[in-house]
A and B are shown apart, each in its own frame.
Chain A
Amino acid sequence: MKTRVTLTVNGQVHDVEIAPHYLLSDVLRDVVGLTATHVGCEQGVCGACTVLVDDRPARACLTFAIQMEGHEITTLEGLRDDPVTQALQQAFHERHALQCGFCTPGFLVTLSAWLKEATDPTPAAVRDLLTGNLCRCTGYQNIVEAVLSVAATECGR
């Protein structure tokens, strides 16, 4: 049975008609029409579906859309004007930190939130964080380099 739910995504209010068992990842893509949030494993492992719930990273595949009434969801589309995200995009581009790009939205969302809080973004801390995002193409080296180049200028802003 479907019910009406009010979702706030990237600051915009959406009235959607959904069933309780619809995953947030599917509702974002198929109902709201925002497709930057990717779906890989649906088990919380790959990180491709990572979005922000009230500014904290969360797996959209482990969240039911109906739970999100009263919360603010931010997807990569909503970070378009965020300076840290823009710096990350530029660094990923320059350092060849993506190939197919499937994993990239999850990396950017996770990193944009983390870099605003991290006080000591050492290479080890960056690698530890990124264990939660799988990339089948790049081998991670260039991603880590891109993150560290941004961390040097953007951390704690």
Chain B
Amino acid sequence: MKPAPFAYHRAQSLDHLLRLKADLRGDGVILAGGQSLVPMLNLRLSRPGNLIDINDLVELDHVHARDGMLRIGAMVRHHRIATHPLVRRHHPLVAGMASMIGYHAIRQRGTIGGSLTLADPSAHFPLAAMLCDATLVLRSTRGERSVPYRALYLSPLNCALEDDEIVRSVLFPIPPPGCRMEAEIFHLNHGGFPLAACAVALTADARGGVATLTLVIAAGGLRPVVLDRELDGFLGAGPDAGLPAAIAGHVAAILPLEDTAKAPAAYLSAVVRRCATLCVTRALAPRAGEPA
């Protein structure tokens, strides 16, 4: 299908963009990579009066690592994140997630700002941003504010941006030495949206047991669920071969999964258990070059 007509604005600078957003409010929809918005326009699920193209904004295209933070501009495309030396060195999980999104051609255009703002419940970057407790830097003509993504993400496809706000960049805390992050994504068809996904951040103690543990689960179209205090019972546990399955069983038991059009709850729960088992196993496995 074809999109409905709209007026097109090409933002020339960040200030120009903020003024357009302040004037047009909710009827001025930002066009970043277009890899989610344009399918919605083509299907006429969305019919905005105005599109504001931000592809020329160098102000939104940066990658830095400083003061313990990896800062990525909203317009940085998935492919660049997947291959960027700073991201790969400081935050392999984020680079790895970027490399798995959709297909090669989609990753050339799609941006991290678009993905986080869209807040699709099964998308890759929202899962990573939830796990890492990333912060979004938002701008409007009224000023700048920084909001944790976990607080901004109200519900699937619904981020609490004001009508005149845009995402400028995202800040990922660089994981401390010894903290391991792993993700496991389950697809029914390669490159399609995941059916369920799990990401884990785990620090091992001197014996190879669990010192800190955070897990995020995305399944069943629900808002991704962050579990940390819920897993306190496992702190100090292990190392033992049954530990990953025990954690996964606990996680699956507390998720409020329901039957969906894609899969019944029991199936989703089994997939969640498997994803969680695999990523906790990898996070606990000794690695070459690290003390056992």
Contact = CB atoms under 8 A, between A and B. Distances in A.
A66 B10 CA distance: 10
A47 B39 contact: no
B115 to A, nearest CB: 14
B165 to A, nearest CB: 23
Contact of B5 (A19, A43, A50, A110): A19
Interface string A97-121: 0000000000000100010000000
B7 interface: yes
Contact of A132 (B1, B2, B55, B106): B106
Contacts of B53: 67
B38 A57 contact: no
B249 interface: no
Contact of B3 (A21, A44, A57): A21
B35 A44 contact: yes
A43 B3 CA distance: 12
B42 interface: yes
Interface in B4-35: 4-8, 10, 31, 34-35
A66 B53 CA distance: 10
B8 A132 contact: no
Contacts of A128: 190
A73 to B, nearest CB: 13
B282 to A, nearest CB: 20
Interface in B42-82: 42-43, 51, 53, 55, 79
A20 B7 CA distance: 7
B104 interface: yes
Contacts of A42: 1-2, 39, 42
B292 to A, nearest CB: 32
Nearest to A47: B105
Nearest to B43: A43
Nearest to A26: B2
Given A42-B1, A43-B42, A128-B190, A57 B104 contact: yes
Interface of A: 19-21, 23, 26, 42-44, 47, 50, 56-59, 61-64, 66-67, 110, 114, 128-129, 131-132
10 contacts: A43-B42, A43-B43, A44-B39, A57-B105, A61-B38, A63-B109, A110-B104, A129-B103, A132-B102, A132-B106
